[in-house]
Amino acid sequence: MSREVKIAVLGGGSWGTAIVKMLTENLDTVYWYIRNTNAIEYIKKEGHNPNYLTSVELHTEYLKLTDDINEAVKNSDLLIFAIPSAFLSAELDKLNKPLTDKIIFSAIKGIVPETGLIVGEHFHEKYGVPFENIGVITGPCHAEEVALERLSYLTIACADKSKAKLLAEHFDSHYIKTKISNDIIGTEYAAMLKNIYAIAAGIAHGLGYGDNFQSVLMSNAIREMKRFTKRIHNIDRNINRSAYLGDLLVTGYSTFSRNRLFGNMIGKGYTVKSAMMEMNMVAEGYYAVKSAHKIKSKFKKKVKTPIIDAVYRILYEGKNAKKTIKELTDKLD
Ligand SMILES: NC(=O)c1ccc[n+]([C@@H]2O[C@H](COP(=O)([O-])OP(=O)(O)OC[C@H]3O[C@@H](n4cnc5c(N)ncnc54)[C@H](O)[C@@H]3O)[C@@H](O)[C@H]2O)c1
Ligand SMILES: O=P(O)(O)OC[C@H](O)CO
C-alpha cells in the first residue's frame, strides 16, 4: 500500500468526526461522507460538526466533504467505516461501485444485523473484499476524549500487518498512540460484546447497585468475553490487552459511554423506546445483544454467558430489570 493512499471516512457521528480530526493531524486530504447535507454545509461554513463533537475545530481545508457515498468511494483507496452497524446495510445499498479493489477498515463496534456477521466478514462475504484488505480500528477510545486531545490508544488490526502499520502512522499524534494486531476476528467480537456488558453495568447502576458490584460484573464480563471469543476463534490471545479488557473497562466505567447511559435509563425504569429517544446517539449494545444471543444459540458446545442472557431477557423479552439482575447476581462469582 502506497504512502500516498487516499482515505475516506464514512459516517458523520461522534466517531466519524473524531477519526477525521485524528487523520487531519497528518493528512492533507481526507474524503468524508456524511449523509446529512445540512451538516456538510454547516461544517464548510463554521468548521464544526453541528450535531456531534460540536466543539471540535475541523480542518476544513483538508476535507473533501460529500453526501454521496459513491463519490467518497470512487476517490479513495482506503475506506474507514464509522456508521452504526444497524444502519450499515442500508448505507451500503447506495453503492454502485464495487469494493473489491478497496482496503476496508471498520471502526464499527457491532454485528451487521441483516447477516449476523462481524463487519469484516460482512465485507468479505457480501462484497468480495479479500481478507488481507480488511482491517479493524478498535481499542478503548471515546470520541469525546479524542475531542479533548486526551491521551488515547488505538489498536489497528489487519491480517496484512503492513496495511495496519501504514494506517497507524496516519493516526499517531501527540494524543494518539497506536498498537498493531492481527486478531481481526477476536478484536471485532470483543468490541461488540463489551457494549452488551456496558449496558448491564448501566442497568445495575440505574437499579442502585454500587461500585463493589460493578467490579464483580466487569470481572465476570471479561471471563465471559474470553469464553465467547475463544469459541468463535480459538487462538492464543491475551484478553487483558487494551483492545479487549481496556475497551470493556472504558465503556463499563466511563460517563461518556452511550451503552452504559442507555442501560442506566433502563435500570431507572425507562422503556427501550423512551431511552433511545432520550439519546441523539446510538447504543450499539442494544443491537449486539440480539445478534450475540442468536450466535451463541448456534454453538454446538454451549458457552456460559449469563450477562448476555440477562441483558437479552430485559431488552428483548420484556423481563423485569430488577428481578433479572437479581437473578444474575446469583450466577456471578
Ligand atoms: N463514539 C465513540 O466513542 C466510538 C468509539 C469507537 C467506536 N465507535 C463506533 O463507531 C460507530 C459509529 O458510532 P458513533 O459513536 O459515531 O455514533 P453516534 O451515536 O455518535 O451517532 C449516531 C450516528 O448514527 C447515524 N445514524 C442515525 N440514524 C441513522 C440512519 N437511519 N441511517 C444511517 N445513519 C444513521 C448518525 O448520522 C450518526 O452518524 C459505532 O459502531 C460505534 O460503536 C464509537
Ligand atoms: O463507550 P460507548 O458505549 O460510548 O461505545 C463507544 C466505543 O465503543 C468505546 O470504545
Task: Give the strand pairing for 103-106 and 78-81.
Answer: parallel
Protein residues with CB under 6 Å of any ligand 2 atom? 109, 140-142, 195, 198, 247, 250-251, 257-259
Phi-psi map region of 127: left, alpha, beta (phi>0 left; psi -120 to 50 alpha)? alpha
Residue with cell 463487519: 119
- For the chain, percent of residues with pLDDT exceeding 90: 98
Q: List the catalytic residue out of 21, 102, 163, 194.
A: 194
**Architecture of domain 7-182 in this structure:** 3-Layer(aba) Sandwich (3.40)
Amino acid at site 62? Y
Rounding to the nearest 10 degrees, give the CA dihedral for residues 33, 21, 59, 167. Answer: -80
- For the chain, percent of residues with pLDDT exceeding 70: 99
Spans of all domains in the chain: 7-182, 186-329
- The reply to whether 186-329 shares the fold of 7-182 is no
- The model carries a pTM of 0.97
Distance CA 226, CA 138 (A): 17
**DSSP secondary structure letter of residue 93:** T
Q: Ligand 1: which of 22, 89, 282 to mutate, judged by most atoms within 8 Å of the beta carbon?
A: 282
What Rg do the C-alpha atoms of the chain give, in angstroms? Answer: 19
**DSSP secondary structure letter of residue 174:** T
Size (the chain), residues:
333
- Single out the residue of 109, 101, 58 nearest to residue 81, CA to CA: 109
Neighbours of 84 (CB within 10 A): 19
What cell was used for 82? 464509522
CA atoms within a 13 Å half-sphere pointing along the CA-CB vector of 28: 1
Q: Is 194 a catalytic residue?
A: yes
Q: State yes or no: pLDDT of 280 exceeds 90.
A: no
Query: What's the complex ipTM?
Result: 0.98
Q: What is the pLDDT of residues 58-102, one digit of tens each?
A: 999 999 999 999 999 999 999 999 999 999 999 999 999 899 999
Closest ligand to C-alpha of residue 194 is 2
What cell was used for 182? 492481527
Question: Could you tell me if 56 and 49 are in contact, meaning their C-beta atoms sit under 8 angstroms apart?
Answer: yes
Q: What pLDDT is recorded for position 169?
A: 97
User: Separation of 235 CA from ligand 1 center, angstroms?
Assistant: 30
What cell was used for 152? 488515547
Question: Could you tell me if 237 and 244 are in contact, meaning their C-beta atoms sit under 8 angstroms apart?
Answer: yes
Q: What pLDDT is recorded for position 97?
A: 85
Average pLDDT over residues 266-272: 97
**Architecture of domain 186-329 in this structure:** Orthogonal Bundle (1.10)
Neighbours of 57 (CB within 10 A): 10
Q: What is the pLDDT of residues 143-185, one digit of tens each?
A: 999 999 999 999 999 999 999 999 999 999 999 999 999 999 9
Question: Could you tell me if 143 and 319 are in contact, meaning their C-beta atoms sit under 8 angstroms apart?
Answer: no
Q: Give Cα separations from 48 to 98, 132, 150, 190, 200 (angstroms).
A: 32, 35, 19, 32, 34
Determine the atom of ligand 1 nearest the C-alpha atom of 13.
Answer: 39
Neighbours of 239 (CB within 10 A): 17
User: Separation of 4 CA from ligand 2 center, angstroms?
Assistant: 30
